[in-house]
Amino acid sequence: MKNVSKNVFLNALVCPSLGWLLRSGEPIEQLSEEAQSLAVQFRIEQGTEIGRRARQLYPNGILLDEKTLSLAAEKTATLLADKRQAVIFEATFLINGYVTRADILRRKKKGWHLVEVKSSANDKPELVDELAYTWMIMMRAGVEISSAALMLISKEFRLGMPDEALFVEVDHTDDALARVLEFANYWNDVLKQTGAKTMPEPELRLACKKCPLFVECLGKGINNHILEIPRLSQKKFDSLKELGVVCIEDIPATFELTDNQAMVRACVVKEQPWVSSQLRETLDTVIWPAFYLDFETTMTAIPLYPEMAPYTQIPTQYSIHKCSGVGKVMEHKEFLCDPSKDSRRELAENLIKDLERRGSILTYSTFEKTTINNLAQLYPDLSDRLEPLTERLVDLLAIIRQNFYHPDFHGSASVKVTLPVIVPDMSYDDLEIADGDSASAAFAYLALGRYHSKAEIEAVKKNLLEYCARDTLAMVKLHDRLHAWE
Ligand code: SF4
């Protein structure tokens, strides 16, 4: 049995079953698949780099990197007792089945200053909870904390500045202590529940919809769960729960639903898609030749280029399929930024050229509109050519949401869900890069010079281009099949 960690404890407070699953380390396919993705790898590496830079601010600090937790805990005890040691990194505390590591401990005249280093630029209550968790364990271990703070990424940081400028320390002594005292009430319960031989009886709640283990837990074996109902309110959820309804098809006909929710129920019950009478008409408003557009972007804590704030979302590439009519591809155009420099201007200029002056621009979401508007703001001299592009946009996602539903959508209209249903002969399975987060990470790795051989760099660029091109081709096919849908 693993020790209770921060992740286990904080999740167990929300759902004891989730805490149990995380502590027992039950095989969780979904998570292990995700763990291998480039995006997760990048996120972990970014966190590690931020931790490393934070430690550099205290040259006299000592890092505990012992192989086992018990060795680290032993060494921690020795260092805490040694008055000459002013700063400790990753001090480890193991107590009654609980474990924590304190990112930075600074000795004060009285007690210690506890710092939790975060890759976030935003101060959020959940981060204070993480700080409070470590404080709670240390309090149990008899270590006095006199102040506590979060070390966050400073939005003022720019490339080339010293590491001091990368961080901003935000004091959370009072609110973290308040949470420590609250958390202490759950010490025994969490230990008992998460350490039980069998999983505590899971209780369905609205939050289960976002639970990464839903499919392993309450969603297991259920095809049309009520959590798939769009915009299900807490009130309606509670009523359905009270009625004992778990599947959409079991919702009583008399139960009050919005038009959209009732349509989803009808589709599930009849096992048939719903097509609005306006679908064809709406699709026919497209002005040809039309351009199917998709952007990829990246966003990093430590900016990739000068004069850029942390977590600036930058477009890195686009793909455009130009069509003369529904499903009739005339041309494919694409652009991939030069990762060695900030190439947003070149991207914007090429975009203006490639989208020409007339014709609808089809997208899947409003993200492209936001990206074009951001470029117009960034380059005012291009704004009179960028802004008109947004007037030509047609959002396929909005059209699908308003005019089409298939029981196999299971409440989602994301292209990764709608494509296999509407265009079953097309997929992303053959691609090396097959999701936006991985594309974002791959570009960041290119910019950071993490691929060394020319062949490797070219392969990654090719994979990025293929992925983005697949997105716009998917839109072309979606449009085509929807148009032909009877
Ligand atoms: S699906 Fe719900 S009950 Fe199950 S672990 Fe997740 S949050 Fe808990």
Buried b (16+ CB within 10 A) or exposed e, 11-48: bbbebbbbbbbbbbeeebeeeeeeeebbbbebeeebee
Distance 244 CA to ligand 1 centre (A): 17
**Sorting pLDDT into bands at 50, 70 and 90, what band is 36?**
low
**Contact between 105 and 91 (Cβ < 8 Å):** yes
Q: How many CA atoms lie within 13 A of 87 on its CB side?
A: 14
Distance between Cα 69 and ligand 1 center (Å):
29
CB of residue 214 inside a 6 A radius of ligand 1: yes
Q: Residue 247 carries which side chain, given as an amino acid letter?
A: C
Kindly give the distance from the C-alpha atom of residue 396 to the centroid of ligand 1, in angstroms, as a whole number.
33
Judge if the beta carbon of residue 202 lies within 6 A of ligand 1: yes
Distance (Å, whole) CA 465 – CA 150: 39
Cα 23 to ligand 1 centre (Å): 14
Q: What is the pLDDT of residues 69-113, one digit of tens each?
A: 999 999 999 999 999 999 999 999 999 999 999 999 999 999 999
Q: How sure is the predictor about 1, in pLDDT bands with cuts at 50, 70 and 90?
A: confident
Atom number in ligand 1 closest to CA 214: 1
Nearest CA to ligand 1 atom 5: 18
CA–CA distance, 396 with 415 (Å, rounded to integer):
10
Ligand 1, from 214, 220, 222, 227: best to mutate by most atoms within 8 Å of Cβ? 214
Task: Indicate if ligand 1 lies below 6 Å from the C-beta of 12.
Answer: no
Identify which has the larger pLDDT, 26 or 219: 219
pLDDT in tens, 319-350: 999 999 999 999 999 999 999 999 999 999 99
CA 235 – ligand 1 centroid, Å: 19
Average of pLDDT values for 179-191?
97
Q: What is the pTM of this model?
A: 0.92
The pLDDT value given to residue 216: 84
Please work out whether the CB of residue 211 comes within 6 Å of at least one atom of ligand 1.
yes
- What is the predicted pLDDT for the residue at 31? 46
Give residue 203 CA to ligand 1 midpoint distance, Å. Answer: 7
Residue type (1 letter), 155: K
**Is pLDDT of 34 > 80?**
no
What pLDDT is attached to residue 30?
46
Q: Ligand 1 center to residue 179 CA distance, Å?
A: 23
The ligand 1 atom at the shortest distance from the C-alpha of residue 14 is: 7
Using the atom order of ligand 1, give the atom closest to the CA of residue 207: 7
The Cα 273–Cα 285 span in angstroms is: 23
How many A from CA of 62 to the centre of ligand 1? Answer: 40
Nearest CA to ligand 1 atom 1: 214
pLDDT tens per residue across span 222-236: 999 999 999 999 999
Confidence of residue 212 (pLDDT cuts 50, 70, 90): confident
What atom in ligand 1 is closest to the CA of residue 219?
1
pLDDT digit string, tens, across residues 395-443: 999 999 999 999 999 999 999 899 999 999 999 999 999 999 999 999 9
pLDDT tens for residues 445-471?
Answer: 999 999 989 999 999 999 999 999 999
What is the pLDDT, as a whole number, of residue 25?
Answer: 78
Residue nearest to atom 3 of ligand 1 (CA): 202
Domains of the chain: 37-185 (3.40.1350), 222-261 (no CATH), 280-484 (3.30.420.10)
Q: How confident is the model at residue 35 (pLDDT cuts 50, 70, 90)?
A: very low
Weakest-pLDDT range from 119-133, 206-220, 302-316, 375-389: 206-220
Residue 449 one-letter amino acid: G
| Ligand 1 geometric centre to CA of 140 (Å) | 29
Pocket mutation for ligand 1, best pick of 13, 14, 17 (most atoms within 8 Å of C-beta): 17
Q: Ligand 1 test: best mutation among 218, 225, 226, 228, most atoms within 8 Å of CB?
A: 218
292 CB near ligand 1 (under 6 Å):
no
Spacing, Cα 245 to ligand 1 middle (Å): 17
% of the chain beyond a pLDDT of 70: 98
Mean pLDDT of 278-282: 94
Q: Measure 92 CA to ligand 1 centroid, in angstroms.
A: 30
17: confidence class by pLDDT, cuts 50, 70, 90: very high
Is the C-beta atom of 17 inside 6 A of ligand 1? yes
